[in-house]
Amino acid sequence: MSNHPEVHVHEHADAGGLGYGTQQSYLTGLGLAAALSAAALGLAAVGSIGTIQTTALILTAIAIARVYIHAVFFLRIRSTDEGGWTAITTIFTLITVVIAMVGSIWIMLHQEINMMPMPGTDAFRGM
Amino acid sequence: MASTAHTEVKGDNFHVTEEPHHEGHSTVIGFWIFLMQDMLLFCGLFAIFAWLGGHYANGPAPLDDGTGQPLFHLTPVAINTVIMMVSAFTCSMGMVNIRKENVGAALRFFGITALLGLGFLFMQYREAVNMAAVGATIQTSAFLASFFVIIFTHCLHVIAGLVWFVVLAVQINLHGLDDANERRAVCFSMFWNFLDITWVIVFVFVYLMGVLK
């Protein structure tokens, strides 16, 4: 057991790490998360500022910031956890997510543009 | 992991020496990898919604349910966001008390988390019923099909979290706060935080972006 102090929950206690934040970090995280969520909600309730694209970009930035705050203040992910394996799996997942999201949206929207409008679809109404 | 075994050369034979590991040494990293693949599941659903989210089939749309009223009401969505955010906090506070070996307080915080989870499920149920009342069901359009699949998948995760809380509470009552139960609590806390992260993405990309005009 003493050969693996980095994975033993008791010995991690004061070192932070996955699932081990402090009350202070949780309160900071809650405050920041509440502020960002309120900002996003206010933005959507107004309708949009500028164009829809600008507002959507701002909302995306808020969502990314919110997830980052959660990872840092609540989950306490550090690049050194588990000998770096948490960081590696997270980066791998993020790369896969970006490829899957961007790729799917790109392909499907192009496919959509090249489709013939059919009766009953929204595109047909514009014909 | 590559470091769990190493080879030794003895004479002409290669021996693989197994090093002893204490139980549960890889639970946290294993559970983290599970959460990452769960994120890929949601990523697939969001990619589908990004494509189909605008296909209303002349039926209900986020800003117009067919009667001139919006289909997405921001007040219940905001309440759910607050519920998930606060429950992630109470769950984390439960972990603070687990670390202090303060079992009673930890279970109370986890209990509040589970009650908030129940409240969340109730709000989601009400939303689905209200939507069905204006003819917006999973069978109505591609938009609503992809929307409800995301919502149901997230609710299934919340239900799994509630079952986990009950099992954890029973285990802690039976065996006290031993190493195994402490690991289960860490994983429960990671899982519940993951639910909140997923909900933030649903909140912004499905609801808020749906009501922009």
Predicted complex ipTM? 0.79
Please report the pLDDT score of residue B212 as a whole number.
85
- Cβ-Cβ contacts under 8 Å for B149 (sequence gap 6 or more): B45, B48, B138
Question: What are the tens digits of pLDDT across the range A9-30?
Answer: 444 444 445 656 788 889 999 9
Joined together, the tokens standing for residue B132 give 């069905």
Tell me, yes or no, whether A43 and A93 share the same domain.
no
DSSP-H helix ranges across chain B: 27-52, 74-99, 103-133, 142-175, 179-201, 209-210
Whole-Å CA distances, B98 to B93, B176, B185: 9, 11, 8
Identify the domain containing residue A58 by its residue range.
13-78
Give CA–CA dist B39/B29, Å, rounded.
15
Tell me, yes or no, whether A72 and A17 share the same domain.
yes
Q: Domain with B157 in it: what CATH number?
A: 1.20.120.80
The per-residue DSSP string of A47-71 comes to: --SSSHHHHHHHHHHHHHHHHHHII
Please report the pLDDT score of residue A15 as a whole number.
43
Domains in chain B: how many in total?
1
Give CA–CA dist B136/B72, Å, rounded.
11
Distance from CA of B123 to the nearest CA of A (A): 18
In chain A, residues with a C-beta closer than 8 Å to the C-beta of B182 are 9-10
**A41: nearest CB among B33, B78, B95:** B78
- Residues in chain B with pLDDT values less than 70: 1-20
Please report the pLDDT score of residue B5 as a whole number.
52
Whole-Å CA distances, A43 to A62, A71, B50, B150, B213: 11, 24, 20, 23, 11
Interface mutation vs chain B, best among A12, A97, A108, A112, most B CBs within 10 Å: A97
In chain B, residues with a C-beta closer than 8 Å to the C-beta of A47 are 212-213
Tell me, yes or no, whether A71 and A17 share the same domain.
yes
Instruction: Establish if A79 touches chain B: CB-CB under 8 angstroms.
Output: no
Chain B 135-174, residues with CB within 8 Å of chain A CB atoms: none
> At residue A1, does pLDDT exceed 60?
no
Please report the pLDDT score of residue A10 as a whole number.
43
Question: What are the tens digits of pLDDT across the range B127-173?
Answer: 999 999 988 999 999 999 999 999 999 999 999 999 999 999 999 99
Give CA–CA dist B138/A105, Å, rounded.
22
**B63: nearest CA in chain A?**
A47
> At residue A47, does pLDDT exceed 90?
no
Q: Is residue B5 part of a domain?
A: no
Tell me, yes or no, whether A91 and A122 share the same domain.
yes
Q: Is residue A23 part of a domain?
A: yes
Q: Is residue A1 part of a domain?
A: no
Q: Is residue B17 part of a domain?
A: no
Tell me, yes or no, whether A105 and A74 share the same domain.
no
Residue B64's DSSP bridge partners are: B61
Tell me, yes or no, whether A23 and A64 share the same domain.
yes
Domains in chain A: how many in total?
2
Question: What are the tens digits of pLDDT across the range A59-114?
Answer: 999 999 999 998 888 888 777 777 788 888 889 999 999 998 899 888 888 887 88
Joined together, the tokens standing for residue B61 give 């749309």
* The last residue of a domain, from among A78, A99, A114: A78
Chain A 38-57, residues with CB within 8 Å of chain B CB atoms: 40-41, 43-45, 47-48, 52, 55-56
Identify the domain containing residue B196 by its residue range.
26-210
